[in-house]
């Protein structure tokens, strides 16, 4: 089989799962009206499949900051941070992230994906070890592959399993990076951070926590899982993204280890890419300010999360263990998931469809992402529609 035939085989497998040209992946959004509404085809739909957790995509403060940055600094930096792409705004945002996490060092990356890729591949290399959760995001996995380190997985959120693997590492623990996530993107569950820290302190190693989905969502000031658990000082490196609660694009790493600065000189995903545009940096800075002061947004977000989670649970849907902004209905077959996804769209609700092998344990997911801008009525409509479809699609089988 040549290179192109391999792609044909993969395309055939995808089409077998999604017959009749169903465009569940990469669906074209024709117009975007607000943080919660858009047009898909000729339908005005309720957006229940974005990562816009605080609903800030149209925040006037962020839009104004982006406009001003374009006017003053142009549309792009046309260079990497290492060369000509390190403007005042990039450095200011790094200071603001360091201050937000009460850390001494911070690095801004061009995307959240690159934040993990660059941090992990900068911290570990061939001969070192990374111990990662079995449900880790692709950016973590790809960062591990890029690093050339030995990759060991433990069962998702299973601390007995993690301990077994830590024990087997023996002396290699000295050069081991442990990686977990504040909120996991598939089922929306949180890492058992206190237990992970306890094991790290017992066996050793360096701990990196990815707060991509938990930044802005967890904690009084929105720091993430480190804040709700009070374990900020026990985590060695925190990474995150601007493309969820901060509503732009980019990523960061913060740490109290001064060695973080060295990553600027060894991390290819940091060095060999253009820096974020001035408008991106400006809107992110404005959004970070809103996020820090946004306890009212978090209150509304969590009220929405609890409402939808309770409604779907009561109907009988199999969900992740706890309510949160990611609420995924676990469905037995890809056909059922596709049907549910299509029917929701027929009812003007856009959610995410996740099919094997992307979903854990060979299941399929129909995943909602709740945000603070959804109204109570909108959440109720989504819950009522899921309830109506449960029987129609015979979800219990």
Rule CB under 8 A: which residues touch other proteins?
A: 129, 134, 144-145, 148-155, 161, 164-165, 168-169, 356-357, 360, 362
Cα–Cα distance, 356 to 192 (Å, whole number): 25
Instruction: Kindly state the smallest distance separating residue 215's Cβ from other proteins, in Å.
Output: 27
Taking the least distance from each CB to other proteins, the nearer of 101 and 141 is 141
Taking the least distance from each CB to other proteins, the nearer of 153 and 380 is 153
Instruction: Kindly state the smallest distance separating residue 102's Cβ from other proteins, in Å.
Output: 35
Instruction: Kindly state the smallest distance separating residue 204's Cβ from other proteins, in Å.
Output: 15
Instruction: Kindly state the smallest distance separating residue 134's Cβ from other proteins, in Å.
Output: 7
Taking the least distance from each CB to other proteins, the nearer of 2 and 394 is 2
Closest by CA to 206, choosing from 178, 231, 240, is: 178
Taking the least distance from each CB to other proteins, the nearer of 230 and 362 is 362
Taking the least distance from each CB to other proteins, the nearer of 103 and 130 is 130
Cα–Cα distance, 187 to 360 (Å, whole number): 9
Residue 335 CB partners (closer than 8 Å, separation 6+): none
Instruction: Kindly state the smallest distance separating residue 175's Cβ from other proteins, in Å.
Output: 13
Instruction: Kindly state the smallest distance separating residue 361's Cβ from other proteins, in Å.
Output: 8
Instruction: Kindly state the smallest distance separating residue 357's Cβ from other proteins, in Å.
Output: 4
Taking the least distance from each CB to other proteins, the nearer of 106 and 136 is 136
Closest by CA to 182, choosing from 222, 141, 124, is: 222
Reported as type and span, the H/E element at residue 139 is helix 138-147
Judged on CB neighbours under 10 Å (0-12, 13-18, 19+), 379 is buried
Judged on CB neighbours under 10 Å (0-12, 13-18, 19+), 60 is exposed
What SS3 state is found at 128? coil
Taking the least distance from each CB to other proteins, the nearer of 149 and 232 is 149
Residue 383 CB partners (closer than 8 Å, separation 6+): 307, 308, 311, 312, 315
Residue 126 CB partners (closer than 8 Å, separation 6+): 147, 148, 149
């Amino acid at each position: 089989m040549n290179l192109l035939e391999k792609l044909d085989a993969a395309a055939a497998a995808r089409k077998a799962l999604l017959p009749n040209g169903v465009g569940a992946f990469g669906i074209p959004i024709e117009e975007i009206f607000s943080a919660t509404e858009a047009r898909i085809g000729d339908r005005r739909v309720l957006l229940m499949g974005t990562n816009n957790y605080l609903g800030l995509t149209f925040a006037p403060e962020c839009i104004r900051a982006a406009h001003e940055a374009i006017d003053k600094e142009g549309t792009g930096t046309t260079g990497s941070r290492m060369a000509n792409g390190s403007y005042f705004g990039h450095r200011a945002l790094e200071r603001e992230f360091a201050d937000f996490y009460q850390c001494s060092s911070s690095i801004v990356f061009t995307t959240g994906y690159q934040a993990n890729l660059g941090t992990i591949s900068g911290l570990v290399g061939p001969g070192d070890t990374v111990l990662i959760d079995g449900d880790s995001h692709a950016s973590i996995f790809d960062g591990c592959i890029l690093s050339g380190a030995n990759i060991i997985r433990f069962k998702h959120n299973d601390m007995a399993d993690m301990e077994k693997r830590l024990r087997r590492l023996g002396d290699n623990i000295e050069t081991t990076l442990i990686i977990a996530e504040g909120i996991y993107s598939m089922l929306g569950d949180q890492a058992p951070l206190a237990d992970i820290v306890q094991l790290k302190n017992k066996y050793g190693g360096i701990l990196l926590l990815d707060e991509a989905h938990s930044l802005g969502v967890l904690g009084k000031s929105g720091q993430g899982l480190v804040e709700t658990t009070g374990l900020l000082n026990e985590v060695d490196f925190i990474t995150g993204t601007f493309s969820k609660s901060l509503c732009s694009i980019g990523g960061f790493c913060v740490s109290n280890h001064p060695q973080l600065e060295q990553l600027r000189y060894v991390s290819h995903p940091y060095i060999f890419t253009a820096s974020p545009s001035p408008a991106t940096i400006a809107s992110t800075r404005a959004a970070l300010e809103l996020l820090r002061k946004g306890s009212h947004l978090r209150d509304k977000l969590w009220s929405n999360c609890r409402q939808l989670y309770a409604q779907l649970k009561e109907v009988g849907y199999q969900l992740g263990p706890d309510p949160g902004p990611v609420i995924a209905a676990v469905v037995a077959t890809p056909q059922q998931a596709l049907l549910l996804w299509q029917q929701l769209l027929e009812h003007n609700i856009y959610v995410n469809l996740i099919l094997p092998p992307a979903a854990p344990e060979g299941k399929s997911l129909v995943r909602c992402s709740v945000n603070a801008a959804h109204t109570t009525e909108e959440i109720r409509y989504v819950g009522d529609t899921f309830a109506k479809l449960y029987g129609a699609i015979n979800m219990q089988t």
